[in-house]
Structure 1
Amino acid sequence: MKIGIVSPIVTANPGAHSAWEGKAGIAELSRIAATADRLGFHHLTCSEHVAVPTAIAEQRGATYWDPISTLSFLAARTEQIRLMTQVLVLGYHHPLEIAKRYGTLDLISGGRVILGLGVGSLKEEFDLVGATFEGRGAIADDALAALRASLGKREPSYHGTHFDFDDVVVEPHAIQERLPLWIGGRTPRSLRRAATLGDGWVPFGLKLDELAAMLEKADLPDDFEVALGAGRPLDPIDNRDKTIEQVRRTRAAGATIVSATIAAESVDHYCEQLEALAALEEETR
């Protein structure tokens, strides 16, 4: 199924999560992951922030589960659904750190990792973790190239503008021959970065007509993935026709994979919504 799930519970952005999520934990998340896995959904997500300044948390939210811990736990409780970071901030990590940690996750999950990666925009957090904010785009580009040279290799080697390594062993490493790198962003530059250095694009904060216009102008590689959000949370039980329309419009805008947020009032309701959405898959194409 070419519909992925924006995981509930793991983030709590103001206005974008339901009250029940604040009381839920790993048991509820595991149940949702197992349901999505059984029904054939494409992926689950987990985002990254290390520490959000208090004043900024009022706008962006303060809850961000650690992706490597969360996705590793879910890997042991699922069999086929992909496990996606949405997104890791490239500037917070050395490429070999990502290659080792998420290569290990790729191994233990049987090759199910998708790395969603971003340049980052929260200067206060860059400063907090000792990362370089100015010039972060060029650093991210070099990190992407270093990652591509490292993922899936026992003895990676790379000589770039910001990263340089050789004569090292990374074991274990990713088992996918080409672990997907999907780049987040909302600008033409982010799309160009994704097309030249990655395997997919995960835009945010843009209207569907804006996305369609950007994609129409882009020269994209074969098998390039575009994971677009379906807009407002999907409610396939009470708003079946609207759900079908939302998914179709998202695909018409250029989505190869629809990234869905689910409207729900409890974990039981959430799983019921997943069942209803899966039943509509043929009608949404």
Structure 2
Amino acid sequence: MQLPVQSQSTIYAEPWEASATAADLAAVARAADRAGFGYVATCDHVAIPRRLAGPMSTVWYDPVATLSFLAGVTEHVRLLSHVAILGLRHPLISAKQYATLDHLSGGRLILGVGAGHVQEEFEILGVDFARRGAVLDETLDALRAALGPEEYPEFEGELFSFKDLGQLPRPVQERIPVWVGGSSPAAVRRAAVRGDGWLPQGDPRDRLPAQIARIGELRAEAGVAGPMEIGAITEALYVGEPGWDTGRRTLTGKPEALAESLREYKALGVDQIQVRFRSRDRAELVDQITAFGAEVAPHLNDQPLRLVTGD
């Protein structure tokens, strides 16, 4: 779930989220946990400039603090940063934060990462915005070492170098999965070469096959083996007949019809889908999550496709 409340861009936030509380956030995460969804997710921005505050808002919860809070109120659902702008932080800082989160949650972290797009954030933190892609690439390489099993990880790169510095606790997972977000050519290449998964940024269904094929080509060229999680963000959903205007692009209807539409993603080469529900308040969103888990998911059980839910 790209959770509600924790980020409130006008592109996707519902009006009720503006006055929502931590209790609302926790209730939605618990509903997803009970319904058997794959992950809940939070976004990442340090500070929003005035020029972007209108469409983006300035409501962006810190991902590590938020996911740690949610780890304490859930039991099974995985915890995804979608996406962490790792280039804004030294890799040892990110390693300390996310290793601790994985440790405290019992190994439920998925590290979603992205290059970022707000120039002022980089400038105020002294990071070269123009080189953010290269910074992220080396940061990911450094994090592979820093999030590994060694108490004293070592890395030598152009921007970062460390050794003989111990960090405990270590992550529970032997290898924390790294999913790379973004649909630009650079992001797709980064996902293919450095990622364990890909999180497209709003690609419609008809664009996915070409992007997925490109990832396969790039992995083959780079000699990268191992599993690759391909994700997709679905259209907005509403289980049943809403009785209110949910927008012309929202998929609504009976559970069987929704499941039939969602099964198409598997045929496109997608491994996991992130779904977003329209809602007018917390109770309606919780009801939608519950209905999806109970009434739609059973129609997908014959398909090797894992379900997640997003705001």
The two structures have a TM-score, normalised by structure 2, of 0.86
Match of 1:184 in 2: 181
Q: Percent identity?
A: 36
Whole-angstrom CA distance in 1 between matches of 2:226 and 2:166:
32
Whole-angstrom CA distance in 2 between matches of 1:74 and 1:11:
15
Check whether the contact 2:156–2:162 (CA below 8 A) recurs between aligned residues: yes
Q: Is the partner of 1:111 in helix, strand or coil? A: coil
Match of 1:88 in 2: 84
Q: Is the partner of 2:238 in helix, strand or coil? A: coil
Whole-angstrom CA distance in 1 between matches of 2:261 and 2:2:
16
Q: Is the partner of 1:36 in helix, strand or coil? A: helix
- Post-superposition Cα deviations, 1:234-256, rounded to whole Å, max 9, x if no partner, equal 11132235532442233333221
Match of 1:218 in 2: 215
Whole-angstrom CA distance in 2 between matches of 1:205 and 1:273:
22
Post-superposition offset of 1:78: 0.7
Q: Is the partner of 1:87 in helix, strand or coil? A: coil
Residue ranges of structure 2 left out of the alignment (5+ in a row): 220-224, 242-252, 304-311
Whole-angstrom CA distance in 1 between matches of 2:11 and 2:133:
30
TM-aligned CA distance change 1:211 to 1:61, over 3 Å: farther
Structure 1 position 283 matched with structure 2 position 304: no
Of 226, 233, 237, the residue aligned with 1:229 is 233
Post-superposition offset of 1:173: 2.2
Match of 1:30 in 2: 26
Structure 1 position 62 matched with structure 2 position 51: no
Whole-angstrom CA distance in 1 between matches of 2:24 and 2:260:
29
Q: Within 5 Å, give how 1:62-211 maps onto structure 2.
A: 62-152=58-148, 153-211=150-208
Check whether the contact 2:83–2:113 (CA below 8 A) recurs between aligned residues: yes
Q: Is the partner of 1:21 in helix, strand or coil? A: helix
Letter aligned with residue 275 of structure 2: A
Whole-angstrom CA distance in 1 between matches of 2:160 and 2:261:
42
Check whether the contact 1:81–1:112 (CA below 8 A) recurs between aligned residues: yes
Check whether the contact 2:202–2:233 (CA below 8 A) recurs between aligned residues: no
The two structures have a TM-score, normalised by structure 1, of 0.93
Structure 1 position 258 matched with structure 2 position 261: no
Match of 2:285 in 1: 270
Letter aligned with residue 67 of structure 2: L
Residue ranges of structure 1 left out of the alignment (5+ in a row): none
- Post-superposition Cα deviations, 1:156-193, rounded to whole Å, max 9, x if no partner, equal 10011211111110111211000011111112331221
Check whether the contact 1:157–1:165 (CA below 8 A) recurs between aligned residues: yes
Post-superposition offset of 1:15: 3.6
CA RMSD between the two structures: 1.5
Whole-angstrom CA distance in 1 between matches of 2:151 and 2:262:
41
Whole-angstrom CA distance in 1 between matches of 2:11 and 2:139:
33
Whole-angstrom CA distance in 2 between matches of 1:15 and 1:118:
19
Whole-angstrom CA distance in 1 between matches of 2:156 and 2:67:
31
Segments of 4+ in structure 1 off by > 6 A?
A: none
Structure 1 position 20 matched with structure 2 position 24: no
Check whether the contact 1:10–1:64 (CA below 8 A) recurs between aligned residues: yes
Match of 2:308 in 1: none
Q: Is the partner of 2:84 in helix, strand or coil? A: strand
